[in-house]
Amino acid sequence: MDKLLDEFMKHKPTRSLNTNKQYCHRIQKIVKEHDNNVEILDDFEELKQYLKIYKSTTRSNILTALIDYHQMKNSDPDLIELLQSEFSATSEIYKNKMKSGIFLESQKENAISFNHLSGYMDLLDNIIYENKYVLNFNTFPAIDYLNLRLLIRLLVVHPSRNEYSTLKLIKNKVYDKLVPESFDWHQNYVVWVGRPKKYYLHIGCYKTYSHYGLKRFEITDKKLILYLDQLRKINGIGPLFKLSSGDPMNNNTMSQLLIKYSKKHLGKSISSTMIYKCLINDLSCKYQLALENEDIENIKLYKGQLEDFAKARGHTLQTQQVIYFKE
């Protein structure tokens, strides 16, 4: 994997490390599932058959990796064109579903309202308080709940994807020494400044970095600052999120954590994407109501929040409203 990952990194040096890792994983998965026969990557008909078992979103992701792989390898232009055509058709399926408000059954079952999400956040607060998990963080499942509470608050206040799993806590004096566009620059940090401005986010490794560049946000939410203070005192400088095993969190373990406890307490599999859809739907409904009522102040308020969320997530406002808002 290291060799292939290195090739992807050299091919697209401005793309996030996590994205390159995902591309690498998708390519290697195809080869592994075909008895480690790398020639499968050049067989369009076999690839089409392989892709049929996946849903449109997963097919699109795999095709994106395949196209990039063959462009990197300077493969047969006809093969690349066929893959691009397949990707375009697959993307149209997804866009049509989103446009018409059609969700997969799993998405329907796991949809959550903002009020429901708020209640879940309050529940986590109560569980942590009643069990004194801040004081007894070395006992299981205390660290799970402390991680989960901070993760969800981050995703609500500064919406993003699973790259928050890789956040590292560093001091401002260390951050000031980072060289722009260096390897260390293209990482994800919570920078601890101290009073009066305590923390800010530096997100330099995420899916759409090549289009939108560095994301940097000052953290002003009081609860978020409190939760960061508590976890900083537990874990110190370094990986912000550590599992009960002591290992740093990653994208997969973050997803598992979110899903495990949302299933336990809500009976739903709540991901970072579902949290985002919940936020956008709530805000968009308020914005639409403000438009209907010609409420100028709230029109400005909600549109501003929607723009901020699109920026935090790393895409345009138009993309956000088309994909994540269902009337």
pLDDT of residue 96: 59
End-to-end CA distance of the chain: 43
Buried b (16+ CB within 10 A) or exposed e, 100-126: eeeeeeeeeebbbebeebeebeeebee
Task: Divide the 327 residues of the chain into consecutive groups of 10 and give the mean pLDDT of each group.
Answer: 80 75 88 88 89 82 88 86 83 59 57 84 93 88 94 90 90 91 88 86 82 85 93 91 87 90 89 84 83 83 82 69 58
Q: How far apart are CA 43 and CA 54, in angstroms?
A: 18
pLDDT of residue 80: 86
How many residues comprise the chain? 327
Nearest to 258, CA basis, from 105, 109, 149: 149
Q: What residues contact 101, with CB distance under 8 A and at least 6 apart?
A: 326, 327
Q: How far apart are CA 155 and CA 17, in angstroms?
A: 21
Nearest to 230, CA basis, from 97, 132, 326: 132
Is 98:57 a contact under the CB 8 Å cutoff?
Answer: no
pTM of the model: 0.68
